[in-house]
Amino acid sequence: MSKKAVIISTSPRHDSNSHALAEAFARGAQEAGNEVELISLRGKKIAFCLGCFACQEKGSCVIRDDAVGIEEKVLEADVVVWATPIYYYEMSGQMKTLIDRLNPLFPKDYRFRDVYLLATAADDSESTPDRAVEGVKGWVECFEKAAFKGSVFCGGVNDPGDIRKNEKLDEAYRLGQMI
């Protein structure tokens, strides 16, 4: 059965390593017959959440920027995939800002059930992505019909394009095929 996947690439860098993981996942998911949209936050205007909770009453955020369109795409997706570089052992600020801005989804009848994380970092310690994984799991816990389904981490990549020819691209591709 075909699924609709939204992959959100949160790196601000051109030719980023985490975006390469997102592209590999997207290829795998598309080749398996799924509908895939890869959204890059690079160049997008996404303001910080104001904490006003107007979205809970009105059903939408009072801030009119690029987060609104992304929220609509996440609402209609069966699968949500986050791709982030790890900065200071945590997800990118761009990713956290968007997660906060997706608060209007909370009371809605969202479709997504499966959530994945793709992450890269200069540090190649096995524990490097732990806080980012926990952050995504925390977001997922707010959506009782959703579940964290898995992740791919590629450490030891710092400069743009370092990930080329890394076996983690194949792992992301295979994960995409399995959604």
Residue 46, CA distances (Å) to 33, 104, 112, 134 in order: 31, 15, 22, 23
Rounded to whole angstroms, how far apart are CA atoms 92 and 112? Answer: 22
50, pLDDT greater than 90: yes
User: Where along the chain do its domains lie?
Assistant: 4-177
How many beta carbons lie within 10 A of that of residue 146, not counting itself?
A: 18
The share of the chain scoring above pLDDT 90, in percent, equals: 98
161, pLDDT greater than 90: yes
Is the whole model's pTM more than 0.95, yes or no? yes
Question: What's the chain's average pLDDT?
Answer: 97
pLDDT digit string (tens) for 60-119? 999 999 999 999 999 999 999 999 999 999 999 999 999 999 999 999 999 999 999 999
Nearest to 113 by CA among 154, 77, 73: 77
23, pLDDT greater than 90: yes
Which CATH superfamily includes the segment(s) 4-177?
Answer: Flavodoxin domain (3.40.50.360)
* Alpha-carbon torsion (12, 48, 68, 142), positive or negative: positive
